[in-house]
Amino acid sequence: MTPAPWSLRATCRSLAAGWQAFFHAPCDARVCAAIRIAFAIVVLLDLSILYPDLDLWFTDGGVLPTEASHEVAKPYGWSVFWHLPSTSAVVHVCYWIAVAQALLLLVGLLSNLQMLGVFIWLTSLENRNFLIIDGEDVVFRLLAFCLIWVPLGRCWSVDAVLRRWWAAPRGEGSNGFAAPGWGLRLVQIQMCVSLLAAGLWKLAGPEWLNGTALYYVARLDDYFGRLPIPTWLFDTPWAVALITWSVMVVEVLGPILLWFKETRRIALAAIVLFHLGNEWTMHLFLFHWVMLCGWLAFVSPEDFAWIGRLFRKSTRA
């Protein structure tokens, strides 16, 4: 047996090749476009809810003057609104600029520039009145930042139409739907870290470990009971325990199993069902929908073809 069986040079080359394959392999631009469209729709819904209360939440005449907002915001937070007059007219102009950029993102005109603008406005609104935000707003901001680096306009966009128009007279070819993949990989990592962190946090809670956590959650009238559910489901000890532990399994194992081709579809299906189940039972506004936008990063066009084949087999049977 040799004392040093591995070569440092070969190991470094292997690590470099693995890094290159993981972060820089091309991705399918159709996946990026699907995320862009879904995220823009959810952002527009979020902004539409804010509109009736713009003056109440974001002007000096509302509940939180500008000076006070500095005190309650995070120490390193920033906001465009801190550098502008805190009047109704200014806030409304900024709001409609944000809406315009979200609409341009939806149709895919200068897509990445619009995503940068959306990120700036979401962050500015969040820090201008930090007292009204929740976990949903944090997910909006994190996902918007990651999407700045994703090739959002390569297909299904005005950008793609303009690119083809510009390239046609020069005889420049197209590489199909291939696009740089490192930005999409960042989105995947961020989504997995977010879900895994939630699962690990639950592991430290005795109510989650003994299977009673969702019994108490089901008694929070402000958050639970959005749509009808069987009463016995959260009144029967074994059923409550099974659902509670299932949540922990999805949140801890799902972000890990997504990275393996043999378990990716099963893990992704479990995560989607987890979010849809929460959306059915809980009042969390757009939280689960913006999370689903992020999980689109793990979907491939082949998945839809696979679902289509399964559907055709089931209908023939």
Average pLDDT over residues 20-40: 94
Q: Which two tokens stand for residue 89?
A: 């007219």
Average pLDDT over residues 15-30: 92
Per the model's pLDDT, the better-predicted residue between 311 and 77 turns out to be: 77
Per the model's pLDDT, the better-predicted residue between 7 and 251 turns out to be: 251
Contact present, 99 and 117 (Cβ < 8 Å)? no
Task: Determine what percent of the chain is predicted with pLDDT higher than 70.
Answer: 96
* Cα–Cα dist 251/200, whole Å: 8
Whole-model pTM: value is: 0.92
pLDDT at position 258 over 90? yes
Alpha helices in the chain (DSSP H): 8-24, 29-50, 54-58, 66-72, 88-107, 111-128, 135-147, 158-167, 182-203, 206-209, 213-217, 237-257, 264-281, 287-295, 301-316
pLDDT at position 274 over 80? yes
Domain coordinates in residue numbering, the chain: 26-180, 190-309
Cα angle at 273 between 105 and 301, to 5 degrees?
Answer: 50
pLDDT tier for residue 170 given thresholds of 50, 70 and 90 = low
* Cα–Cα dist 296/7, whole Å: 40
Per the model's pLDDT, the better-predicted residue between 11 and 51 turns out to be: 51
Q: What is the pLDDT of residue 317?
A: 61
* Cα–Cα dist 32/152, whole Å: 5
- Number of Cβ atoms within 10 Å of the Cβ of 30: 17
pLDDT tier for residue 266 given thresholds of 50, 70 and 90 = very high
